[in-house]
Amino acid sequence: MINSVIKNWGLIKDFVHRDFKARFAGSILGVVWNIIHPLVMIGIYILVFSQVMRARLPGLSTPYGYTLYLCAAMLPWGMFNELMLRYTNLFFEHANLIKKVSFPKEILHVAAMLTGSINFAISFGIFFIFLAVLHLTGAFIIVMPAERILLLLVVLILQQVFCLGLGFATSVLNVFFRDIGQLVSIVMQLWFWFTPIVYPLSVVPERIKGFFRLNPFYHFIEIYRSILYLNKMPEWSRIGIVAAISGVIFVLGYLIYQKLRDDVPDEI
């Protein structure tokens, strides 16, 4: 796979460029919409939860506490959800090309991953500006030493590895079992609500907290919140958990993909 990516890097860049061009075709503002969407989303969170509902979390005096708590989880989840839905329908999205041209199909996944990563980087950049404004005004003090920034990048890469493994499996299985696309959409909705994103784990009944801790994305969320919200290093054991899960899921997903990929042009 790595060799395919290196050899076809120019083609991958063309796919990424075409993704952005197709998304904003005929639009006057074009790629500027990629900035407007996350800006509006974060603005709504600030207005609704900080000013209208005045939602507060224990232990944090700033009125923007719940907005920070929410954004630290919603932004990574948004990228995860976007990529999973995109991966699942990837072969149908490029059906004409796959039928006509022989090429390593995993580069489609890599191109989709890069597109999603760019979108996330824009959203996170806006969130980081919001954090910087709060820091400068004294509303919330953010402490981001170099080791935490590096750790944040590592965890984001691990999340992409985890998502890519799932995406390899769902994309190829969806070709042979068309219900997979619908199933993934439903699973992602359930996954969101069974992950402590809009609520803290402390509100969950004690008897089912263990079930929530089996959720891989729960551990990703806890790491992001430790760095971006709680201003502390996450537990190393939790980092080990997400690294192990990401590695296992990627290997299993890629093995499923390898077994079925040659039959994709005939089945699509």
pTM for the structure as a whole:
0.89
Number of domains in the chain: 1
pLDDT in tens, the chain (268 residues): 788 888 989 989 999 988 877 776 666 666 677 777 777 877 777 677 666 555 566 555 667 778 888 889 999 999 999 999 999 999 999 898 898 888 888 999 999 999 999 989 988 998 888 888 888 888 778 888 889 999 999 999 999 999 999 999 999 999 999 899 999 999 999 999 999 998 888 888 888 888 889 999 999 999 999 999 888 899 999 999 999 999 999 999 999 999 999 899 888 8
- By CB neighbour count within 10 A (0-12 exposed, 13-18 middle, 19+ buried), where does 144 fall? middle
List the domain range (segments joined by +) for residue 28: 2-267
In the numeric block, the tokens 């980092």 are attached to 239
Longest dimension (CA), the chain: 61
Q: How far is CA 237 from CA 170, 233, 248, in A?
A: 29, 11, 17
Contact 247, 161 (CB under 8 A): yes
Count the neighbouring beta carbons within 10 Å of the beta carbon of residue 213. 14
Around 119, how many Cα atoms within 13 Å sit in the side-chain half-sphere? 24
Nearest to 85 by CA among 221, 188, 12: 188
Distance separating alpha carbons of residues 13 and 103, to the nearest angstrom: 15
Write out the H or E segment, with its range, that includes residue 42: helix 33-45
Size of the chain in residues? 268
